Structure 1
Amino acid sequence: MEQWSAEHRAFVVEAYFKSGDSVVAVQRQFRRPLKRNSMGRPRSARTPENVERVREAVEASPRRPARKQAAALRMSYRSVRRILRYDLHFHPYKMAIVQQLKPTDYAKRNAFHFQSK
């Protein structure tokens, strides 16, 4: 079983003579292109198909939480969150429910504030 292809062997020999017989320089040159191409696992969750599935699900029910979207799509929650943030450019936020202030609220607040002192 051969470890290197003919292309790799040719690259090493050529780099060795170009670098002035430096083995260390050849090792560095050899690692550079290989690291860029083979580092990490290939992306499997953020495919264009999955991005489109998430987009359609969010358009169909925009108020559904991301965890429930993930369960409905049979995808991991983290993958759905990454797609929402990095591919669809959505940002998480939480709706705050506040009461509407009435004209009498200011007077009630002042009265309560002065009573407690």
Structure 2
Amino acid sequence: MFSVVKPEAWLSGHSTLKSGRLLLVCHVSGFYPKPVWVMWMRDEQEQLGTKHEDPFPHADGTWYLRANLDVAAEDAAGLSCRVRHSSLGDQDIILYWGRRLSASLISLAVIVPLILLIVLMLLFKKRW
């Protein structure tokens, strides 16, 4: 048997039957030993609506677990899933669901293409 095996983690999500809601799923797989802590977070705050399924054994002796969170679609940005396991030491796995974009990043995404467009127009105009 293993001494410790690091988990792999990934996120998925889909719309629920309730309008405007998402079911976010944090998948954690391939870890050993069985004890693992998985939680949906916003900043450093645990999301109390996190629902954990019982760990499921893989044929190779490692484990799989899902942690689900049902949220309003507009509240999903800024959430993360945090995984703690003995194999990770102090290096938790943190996966982010749709980070919030800062105003400066949005401004940059608008201004840079506009500047490029103006430069291209000026270059094109000079050639004709």
Q: Which protein is richer in helix relative to its size?
A: 1
TM-score normalised by the shorter chain: which range applies?
under 0.3
Please say which structure displays the higher CA radius of gyration.
1
For normalisation by structure 2, the TM-score amounts to 0.25
For normalisation by structure 1, the TM-score amounts to 0.26
